[in-house]
Amino acid sequence: MQVTVDVKGETTHEVDLPKPTYADVLRAVDLSPHEVSVLVDGRPVPEDQPVESSEVTVLRLIKGG
């Protein structure tokens, strides 16, 4: 499955994976589900679920200091 991953404020990646979960997509762009949230149509989604959208947005955690 072809997925466009828009890491907000950084780069956009294209990944192609067989039946990926959102966590698989994150791994493919070298991110951990513990440092980002994945949004689909503006709504957060559980990362262990199969990807159902060809476009996802990734919000990176920002240190709070």
Partner 1 sequence: MTECTRCGREAVMHAAYSGAHLCESHFCETVEKRVRKRVREDGLVPRDATPDDPETWVIGLSGGKDSVVLTHILDETFAEDPRIELVALTIHEGIEGYRDESVGACVELADELSLRHELVTYEDEFGVRMDDVVEDDPENMAACAYCGVFRRDLLERYADEFGADKLLTGHNLDDEAQTAMMNFLEGDVAQMAKHFDASIGGFDGDDARSDQDEFVPRAKPLRDVPEKEVALYCHLRDLPAHITECPHSSEAYRAEIQQLLYGLEENHPGTRHSIMAGYEELAGVLADRYDEDGDGPDLHECEDCGATTTRDRCRKCSLLDSLEAV
Q: Which residues pair with 58 in a beta bridge?
A: 7, 38
Q: Which is nearer to partner 1, 20 or 33 (CB)?
A: 33
Q: What CA–CA distance (Å, rounded) separates 59 from 16?
A: 20
Q: Which is nearer to partner 1, 35 or 55 (CB)?
A: 35
Binding mask 1-40 for partner 1 (x = CB under 8 A): -------------------------------xxxxxx---
Q: What CA–CA distance (Å, rounded) separates 14 from 3?
A: 6
Q: Which residues pair with 2 in a beta bridge?
A: 16
Q: Which residues bind partner 1 (CB under 8 A)?
A: 32-37, 43-49, 59, 61-65
